[in-house]
Homo-oligomer: A and B are copies of this chain.
């Protein structure tokens, strides 16, 4: 018997589309060789030889994808929330990230990060490291050990950063990046490299051009930041006066979708031109509601992106966000969409619970291919939620229990089991 072939029994709930929730009470979720064979009210004959774990009255939902998270910022989560983006980077973020040149520090910090992420609702993540290759290698090893599925980026920045963190020049940066890709591509089962220009202001033209070449050479995906903050957007316009929009800078260097699968964090203040380009190139939006609150960035127009058919997932943006909980992230996404409706545009109705659940699972999961759903053919990521700790006089249905888990985030709920890519993680 392979360890990645099994059946889970419980109250099973997953998003088929953003408007369609599938609920099977006391159902059977079948996993063969790491891949879902679907959910059944009665276990089909052909799967009766598989081992069944009966989670009784617990909820079983797909694992969540955190589309944007900075591993090195985990040590200062919940601290220094009094600044906007650019001052926050200089005051809190860059000094912390410069510590990762010390591998002993990285060992300790990434050890905590990887263990806490393993214990969270996240089964897949698109992760920023730092500019340091040895520390990023270490991060990849630690994440591989968790059993989670991740893309991890060695950050690139050769300008507009602190002396401690800035890469010497574009050539040095590109050489180091190429060597890192060669070393890590294909090395791990669940952990893959992703190209990671930090954001346009910290990357020279030659660096971005070189990264575009590496993208084409190795076929890697790309992650970066886009239109998070108004001052940042002004700065990009000054640095790249030829660009039609912030996203056009990445596009110019071949780092904005198309054959380069790309996820851009934030997109709070994207112009019409930029939205058009994102749509045309199939660029993913990593919506990070809590970070956009904490750094006073604003509220991303997610309803618009959904209407335009732009792919969207959710991100915690640790440590712009203070919590790595994807449950909290879902609740925050609903919350800010309500304030957007009230304060910015009453033509954009708020996100529903079903929609943010879709974004956290299948929406973000699709960046990894077939992930985030229990439909047949999807890689099996699952969470088992024991909500007995949430005491109530009410007897709730599965959908209501899911809703309550989202709004109460980490309160009263226990992760009783976790599976990623068909293997038991917890």
Contact = CB atoms under 8 A, between A and B. Distances in A.
Given A82-B353, A325-B411, A394 B76 contact: yes
A236 interface: no
Instruction: Give the size range of A's interface with the partner.
Output: 35 or more
Contact of A78 (B78, B79, B338, B406): B406
Contact of A407 (B322, B341, B343, B403): B322
Contact of A293 (B335, B391, B408, B411): B335
A350 B296 contact: yes
A281 interface: no
Nearest to A109: B393
Given A353-B82, A393-B109, A335 B404 contact: no
A352 B407 CA distance: 25
Contact of A296 (B296, B341, B353): B341
Given A339-B293, A350-B296, A391-B116, A81 B411 contact: no
Instruction: Please state the number of chain copies in the assembly.
Output: 2
Interface in A323-364: 323, 325, 331, 334-336, 338-339, 341-344, 350, 352-353
A122 interface: no
A176 B364 CA distance: 56
A109, A331, A350, most chain B CB atoms within 10 A? A331
A114 to B, nearest CB: 12
B343 A392 contact: no
A50 to B, nearest CB: 35
A81 B330 CA distance: 13
B294 A79 contact: no
A342 B297 contact: yes
Contacts of A116: 391
A335 B393 CA distance: 32
Contacts of A335: 290, 293-294
Interface string A388-416: 00111110100010011111111100000
A108 interface: yes
A293 B343 CA distance: 11
A343 B344 CA distance: 7
A408 B322 contact: yes
A105 interface: yes
Contacts of A400: 79
A112 interface: yes
Contacts of A394: 75-76, 79
A299 interface: yes
Interface string A290-320: 1001101111000000000000000000000
Contacts of A331: 322
A339 B77 CA distance: 20
Contacts of A294: 335, 338
A404 B92 CA distance: 14
A224 B298 CA distance: 32
A410 B407 contact: no
A406 to B, nearest CB: 7
Contacts of A108: 393
A295 B135 CA distance: 45
The 4 closest A-B pairs by CB, nearest first: A78-B407, A78-B404, A322-B407, A296-B338
Interface of A: 74-79, 81-82, 99, 105, 108-109, 112, 116, 290, 293-294, 296-299, 322-323, 325, 331, 334-336, 338-339, 341-344, 350, 352-353, 390-394, 396, 400, 403-411
14 contacts: A76-B392, A76-B394, A78-B390, A79-B394, A81-B353, A112-B393, A116-B391, A293-B336, A293-B338, A296-B341, A298-B339, A323-B411, A343-B343, A410-B410
Given A77-B407, A409-B409, 14 more contacts: A78-B404, A78-B406, A78-B408, A79-B400, A79-B404, A79-B407, A81-B334, A112-B391, A293-B338, A296-B342, A298-B342, A299-B339, A323-B408, A343-B343
